[in-house]
Amino acid sequence: MGKFNKHRVDNYRFGKCEICRQDIPIDYYFSKGDLIMCSECGTEYILTSKSPVKLSIAEGSYGPDDYFGDLMFEEY
């Protein structure tokens, strides 16, 4: 039986989308500061840390009225 190689098994990790709660794969070639997009809802994130994985929403990619933001209803 071969030796266990952590780097071979752990080729990518996952971040979590704050909007739709979908897993976002973080491949080994991403580096700190890269722009990553959620494939489910399209929200853009900036990779702030790889270990542990930390994502922050990119400025201007998501506003308070998008997706599950505050809804404003007009009275008729």
Whether 38 is in a domain gets the answer yes
Total of domains in the chain: 1
Domain that holds residue 27: 9-57
Pick left, alpha or beta for residue 42 (phi over 0 → left; psi -120 to 50 → alpha; otherwise beta). Answer: left
Q: How does DSSP classify residue 2?
A: P
Is 62 a member of any domain?
Answer: no
1-21 average pLDDT score? 70
| Reported pTM | 0.64
Q: What percent of the chain has pLDDT over 90?
A: 53
Average pLDDT for residues 17-44, to the nearest whole number?
A: 93
Give me the phi and psi of 26, to 5 degrees please. -110, 100
Residue whose tokens read 């990779």: 47
Report helix, strand or coil for 46.
strand
Q: Is residue 14 one of the residues assigned to a domain?
A: yes
Residue 4 inside a domain? The answer is no
| pLDDT tier, 2 (very low <50, low <70, confident <90, very high otherwise) | low
Q: Which residue has the higher pLDDT, 29 or 1?
A: 29
CATH number, position 35: 2.20.28.160
